[in-house]
Amino acid sequence: MRLPRLKSSYISGQLLMSLVLTSLAALVGRLVFINASQGPRLLARTYEQQRATVPLPARRGLIVDCHGRILAGTALQKSVFADPSLMPDKHHAAEQVGQILDVPTSELGQDLVAAGSRRFFVVRRRISDDQAAALRATRLPGIGVFEEPYRTYPLTSLAAQVVGFVSRDGAGLAGIEHQCESWLTGESGVKTIVCDAARRAFWLAEDGYQPPRDGYHVVLTIDAVIQAAAERELQAAVDKYKAESGVAVVMDPRDGAILAMANVPTFDPNHFQDYAEGSAWRFRNRVVTDPFEPGSTFKPFIAAWALAERVTQLGEIIDCEAGMWRDGKRLLHDHHPYSGLSFEDVVAKSSNIGMAKLGKRLGNRRLQAALRAYGFGQKTGVGIVGESEGIVPPPHQWTSFSTTSVPMGQEIAVTPIQMVRAFAALVNGGRLVNPYLIRAILESDGSVVQEHQPTSPREILSPGVANTMRDVILTGVVNHGTGSQAALARYQVVGKTGTAQVPKPGGGYVPDAYVSSFVGAVPRQDPRLVVFVAVRRPVKSIGYYGGTVAAPAARQIMASALAYLQIPPERDGVVEMASGSAGD
């Protein structure tokens, strides 16, 4: 009876063993299948989880003045990054990080959730050294501290509208920062390291380092010393006359290099985000973006054209009608009741009636040709985003009023950069130079990548006409005309004043609102500087004529620049200038 039980047990054991062996065979077969079909993918996934990729930001290139003074530079900041995939408890991580950074837990938690599957994103930038040390001490999985470059402007507001600023992510938003974005940016690198499960680095992966290429440096024609003088004197004029705003430009008339571009009010690009939304106009470089009606500073351009077209000559006496003249339906006035003025004094004394009569001799066709030749109604190509063409009506819109308005600087609008360009032609022998702001692009080691190539200036006036304007007419404006407050003792300044009314958008002019301006050059015999100053809406009761408001500021800018550049004086001692007329 026992034998059958033994046989039965033996059979059961055999069956059990067969089942075990069959299962093992199936498992081994499955493992072989998985290894053959999916092994490379799983191995790659495991390998990926053991590696961490850390970006290596490129340093943004410098923006420097013509002598290498840094206007925009790069410094290092500590920032916090997160890898949400390594965080077992995002709420706990947000709570601890939030306490250290003084950021609400809910805000950080939302950021971590919004990051989704990203393996790297920046939580906060520019944290303190103490905050960085505290974060490292937590040893939180998926939280780390790294260094990255950030933009800094060591001279704060100096040339702010020229230089511009960058976004929080380092992209250029305005000025040269925006204009030269492709040069300045560079290319980021990458570092791949092998880590443990807690994201601690063990070693640099093979072929895991690609260095960044830093951005190129941009060298401007701006001279920080002359720029500072222009801003200082412009601010003083705006403050003294309680004006709304002001602009100033300094250019070398020989080649068009811009030495200074000043705007008041200004801003600090280190903290551009702190300015109210309604203050965005401060960021605009109004030297190139905002056209204005020039008024009497425009008169020399038409006077020169009248000489060139031989519709007048030096010494001709022009009847200025005792300060009041009716031309058809239009009644024109002068600031003073002049009877007869020489052609030279029509400009020096800024007679509207005298200029209107010259306009009638030229006619609209030749006036339009003059404006085109001087570059009005066209961009100068100075290289700044947002440059305006100004406003010059097309020929079919000109009327008989235009014939007498344009010679007085009315019915048109020009930019300050157009003014210095055109005025340079009156003092450099008649050549229209192209203003420029970028001198060179450099590698980080200083080697030249690209350099400004001057273009041949176009002759728009004969040297004889241009020299007559400079040596006789524009000299007279300063020595015995409306520009006497621009005079310097040891240098002969030449120039022209202007006092223009502010137009209303729908036509007509704003009562008691003016733009007071002066444009001039120095030294007379070999001009090195053309300076333009305009002060918008000074308080009339304090002073509003261009000769009173703008000319003194231009004089101080010239004096500072001449001393700094060590330009030899033209004469010795103090020269008394004749008392200039009031008016514009």
- One domain for residues 153 and 194: yes
Answer yes or no: are the C-beta atoms of 61 and 183 closer than 8 Å.
yes
Whether 94 is covered by a domain: the verdict is no
Q: What whole-number distance in Å separates Cα of residue 361 and Cα of residue 359?
A: 5
∠ CA 160-494-555, nearest 5°, is: 45
Q: Are residues 271 and 370 in the same domain?
A: yes
> Do 161 and 68 share a structural domain?
yes
Q: Identify the pLDDT of residue 12.
A: 59
For residue 295, what are the domain limits? 224-438+453-565
CATH of the domain at 215: 3.90.1310.10
pLDDT score, position 18: 63
352 conformational bin, left if phi > 0, alpha if psi -120 to 50, beta if neither: alpha
Where does a domain end: 168, 184, 219?
Answer: 219
Query: Given this model, what pLDDT does residue 449 score?
Result: 96
Take residue 116 and report the two structure tokens written for it: 């989704």
**Tally of structural domains, the chain:** 2
* pLDDT for the residue 6: 42
pLDDT of residue 89: 83
Where residue 495 sits, what CATH number does that domain have? 3.40.710.10
Six token digits for residue 94: 């947000």
Give residue 210's pLDDT.
83
For 25, 82, 116, the CA distances from 90, given in Å and listed in that order, are 44, 10, 12
The structure's pTM equals 0.85
Instruction: Tell whether 92 is covered by a domain.
Output: no
Q: Collapsing DSSP states into helix, strand and coil, what is residue 253?
A: coil
Residue 546 is encoded by which pair of tokens? 């261009």
Phi, psi of 384 (to 5 degrees): -125, 130
What was the pLDDT predicted at 4? 45
How crowded is the C-beta side of 201, counted as CA atoms within 13 Å?
Answer: 11
Task: Based on the fold, state whether residues 261 and 300 are members of the same structural domain.
Answer: yes
Tokens of 77: 């900041």
In terms of domains, do 197 and 259 share one? no
The pLDDT value recorded for residue 43 is 46
Q: Are 126 and 226 in contact (CB under 8 A)?
A: no
On whether both 391 and 489 belong to a single domain, the answer is yes
Same structural domain for residues 196 and 321?
Answer: no
**330, 233: one domain:** yes
- Residue 380 CA to residue 255 CA, distance in Å, equals 13
Residues 421, 510: one domain? yes
Which residues of the chain, if any, have pLDDT below 70? 1-52, 117, 193-208, 276, 573-583
